[in-house]
Structure 1
Amino acid sequence: MLPFLALLLLYHTWPVLFGTYLAFTEYNIISPPQFVGLKNFRELLGDAQFWSGVQNSLKYLLVVPVIQLLSIAVAMLVNRPLRSIGFFRTAYYVPVVTSFAVVGLIWTWMYQQSGPVNWVLTHLGLMQRDRSLLGNPASALYAVMFVTLWKGVGYYMVLYLAGLQSIGRELEEAAVIDGATRWQVFVNVTLPGLRPTILVCSLLSTISAVKVFEEIFVMTQGGPVGSTYTALFFTYAKAFQDFRYGYAAAAGIVIAVISLAFGIVNFRLTRGGRVDA
């Protein structure tokens, strides 16, 4: 285990500790870090751009219930002993292993005014021809959310598929023999059996939603008019554009605390309002 632990210490533990230290300093790479106490955190409290980014990150949480429900539905669909079912499982999983640089470029093209998505929406009367989903502040964030949904369904599908296959078939068969409908079997047998998987998937997707960055960086760079400017993109911009590493580290700590809080709430809700010791 020593090589793994060494890498963990080098690339995870040490950056966390050093980043926490930087949050209490002014640091721009050129000069040594200067300790400033809670100055960065006090500045964050009055930074409208940061809290606007936090608000957009919280909006991104709308993806969580949708992606979980859709992933469960797809997992149940591919959990049937049908011919060529392995092909469909692989097809649903392909977006997960595709680089987001590629995915982002493809969907950015599809969302353009001359792209296929706009063409379909225009001919359905749902959108004006001179608009684009990524160029409209009212729709840009939701367009990026859809890409996250499209790319992430396959990942959670695999986890739910494993959960479904761990549920004993005899339980479902016994329920059917007792006269239960498909819906009753799903609610009373399948969902309780999936509860541990739902907990894990909900936690992962909640934390990922609050910390969304790749999609924004590749597709919108926070625009238009800051409508997709998320909390983690704020941290990136302060560190690598403004070179305020201490301020960016403070923002990162606040984001980590927010993620932790939502993780605890999600854990309690998924466990039925209680946490076992």
Structure 2
Amino acid sequence: MARLNKRAGINPALVRKRRLTALAFLLPNLIGFLLFTLIPVMTAFVLSFMEWDSANPAKFVGLKNFMALFRTRSFRVALWNTIYYTVGVVPLTIVVSLALAVLFSKPIRGIAFFRAAHYFPYLASIVAVAGVWQFLYNADAGPINMFLKSIGVANPPRWTASTTWAMPAVIIMNVWRSCGYYMIMFVSGIQAIPSHLYEAAMLDGAGGFQRFRYVTLPMLSPTMFFVSIICIINSFKVFGAIYVMTQGGPGGSTSVLVYEIYTQAFSNFKFGFASAEALVLFLLIFIVTLIQYRGQEKWVNYMT
């Protein structure tokens, strides 16, 4: 190898230096991945087959944790609430963010400011955002209910204090917070659409809605596919807003899978059971994502 390198005019010392440089750049990320992702994931996988409360030695129980999952009411409720939340958040977020992207892709004065203003809530701390919305939702003195009363609504919703309205309240807050993030993706997708397609549609007499339906939407389908995957995954992982605004209440009406995992692990100290729940959540996300990937051939149009 050394002779071949010498004949090819390659300096072995330079090659080693470049390899060490590349390794130096990659090593911090690799160490972080090992310490904070791979090792915890493998540990959770092993713990899912054990019974452990952190005070006593772990005991292997096989599939006992998994068999107990669907017999546990709190897990069934959390699974249903996660599906409810996802079904509510994903379509609303896509529709709102797409509408904003269409609006903010036009040459409007100060467009950069409006894009930044809608994107900023996503950058803000979820604790701060959820705290502000918790005040807005206050049943007695919150601005939302005060406005509803001013327009004649005698009994406005009690929002986070109501088993009926608590989840819709969290959904509305998260749609408002995240739509700016997905808006930026849609804006990038719209700007990548070739202008000659719109010109051809206009020559054929297509109006604004027809251009949106037959040009914008088909050409945005790869972006739509990516956004839907990310949005669904983030919806299944929701935790911060639930923890700050409702803590799973009232009456478990907003308890989702990640909050259920947190409760079982750090309140009930059932680390093995919580790890089994986490593994089921991973499998659920994996299956949904796989179905989306298999189904993309029917509706996603990639430009060639």
* Alignment TM-score, normalising by the size of structure 2: 0.86
**Aligned residue pairs, count:** 274
Query: Are 2:148 and 1:121 aligned?
Result: yes
Name the residue aligned to 2:53: 28
**2:263 is the counterpart of 1:248:** no
Note closer, same or farther for the CA distance 1:30–1:266 as it changes in structure 2 (3 Å cut). same
For residues 125 and 265 of structure 1, the distance between their equivalents in structure 2, rounded to whole angstroms, comes to 46
DSSP-derived class of the 2:283 partner: helix
Query: Alpha-carbon deviation of 1:3?
Result: 2.1
Equivalence for 2:6: none
SS in 2 for 1:32: coil
1:203-222 matched pairs, under 5 angstroms: 203-222=229-248
1:53, distance to aligned residue in structure 2 (A): 0.6
Cα offsets for 1:13-60 (capped at 9, x unmatched): 111111100100111222232111001111112001110110000001
Out of 65, 84, 95, the position equivalent to 1:59 is: 84
Q: Which amino acid aligns with 2:151?
A: L
What is the Cα deviation at residue 211 of structure 1?
Answer: 2.0
CA distance in 1, matches of 2:280, 2:151: 43
Which residue identity lines up with residue 187 of structure 1 in the other structure? R
> Any gaps of 5 or more consecutive residues in structure 2?
1-25
Q: CA RMSD in A?
A: 1.7
Match of 1:13 in 2: 38
Contact 1:100 1:214 in 2 (8 A): yes
Are the counterparts in 2 of residues 195 and 270 from structure 1 also a CA contact under 8 Å?
no
1:192 aligns with 2:215: no
Q: Residue 3 of structure 1 aligns with which residue?
A: 28
Aligned partner (choices 18, 26, 45) of residue 70 of structure 2 = 45
| Aligned counterparts of 1:79 and 1:43: Cα–Cα separation in 2 | 51
Equivalent position SS for 1:37: coil
In structure 2, give the amino acid aligned to 1:205. C
Q: Tell me, in whole angstroms, the C-alpha distance in 2 between the residues paired with 1:122 and 1:225.
A: 26
Report if the CA contact (8 A) 1:199-1:271 is conserved: no
Moved more, 22-31 or 85-94: 22-31
- Post-superposition shift, 1:191? 1.1
- In structure 2, what is the equivalent of residue 178 of structure 1? 204
Q: What is residue 232 of structure 1 aligned with on the other side?
A: 258
Once the two structures are TM-superposed, the CA of residue 273 in structure 1 deviates from its matched residue by 6.7
User: In the alignment, residue 52 of structure 1 is paired with which amino acid?
Assistant: V
SS in 2 for 1:8: helix
SS in 2 for 1:46: coil
The one of 76, 81, 103 aligned to 2:102: 76
TM-score by length of 1: 0.94
Q: Which residue of 2 aligns with 1:167?
A: 193
Q: Are the counterparts in 2 of residues 118 and 127 from structure 1 also a CA contact under 8 Å?
A: no
Deviation at residue 124 of structure 1 after TM alignment: 3.2
Larger radius of gyration: 2
Work out the CA distance in 2 between the residues paired with 1:80 and 1:151: 22
Contact 1:26 1:33 in 2 (8 A): yes
